[in-house]
Amino acid sequence: MHSPDDVQYAMETTRVLLEPDRRIDTFGDTNFEFLLLSELMDDAGKIRVRTGGVEAMRPRLVKPDGMADIELEGFGEEARERFDRLVAHMRQQGQELAFLNYGFRFKRGDVREELVHDSLVAVRDRVLEEAREVGNPAQVIIEGVDDAWEVSIFKFTLEMIHQSVPINRFDFQRRGLL
Confidence (pLDDT) at 164:
93
Same domain, 75 and 37: no
Confidence (pLDDT) at 107:
65
Task: Give 5-38 pLDDT, tens digit per residue.
Answer: 888 999 999 999 999 998 999 999 999 999 999 9
Same domain, 145 and 90: no
- Provide the number of structural domains found in the chain: 2
Entry pTM: 0.78
Same domain, 167 and 139: yes
| Residue 28 DSSP one-character state | S
The amino acid at 151: V
Confidence (pLDDT) at 131:
96
String of b and e for 85-110 (b: at least 16 CB within 10 Å)?
Answer: eebeeeeeeeeeeebbebebebeeee
- Of 60, 54, 67, nearest to 138 (Cα)? 54
Q: How far apart are CA 112 and CA 97, in angstroms?
A: 42
Residues forming beta bridges with residue 145, ordered by sequence position:
39
Confidence (pLDDT) at 135:
94
Task: Give 90-142 pLDDT, tens digit per residue.
Answer: 777 766 666 778 888 766 668 999 999 999 999 999 999 999 999 999 999 99
Tell me: pLDDT of 70 over 80.
no
Same domain, 87 and 57: no
Same domain, 110 and 54: yes
User: Domain boundary at 49, 73, 97, which?
Assistant: 97
CA angle 3, 36, 166 (to 5 degrees): 85
Same domain, 161 and 91: no
Same domain, 55 and 112: yes
Please give the residue range of the domain that contains residue 25.
4-63+102-174
Same domain, 116 and 163: yes
Same domain, 107 and 52: yes
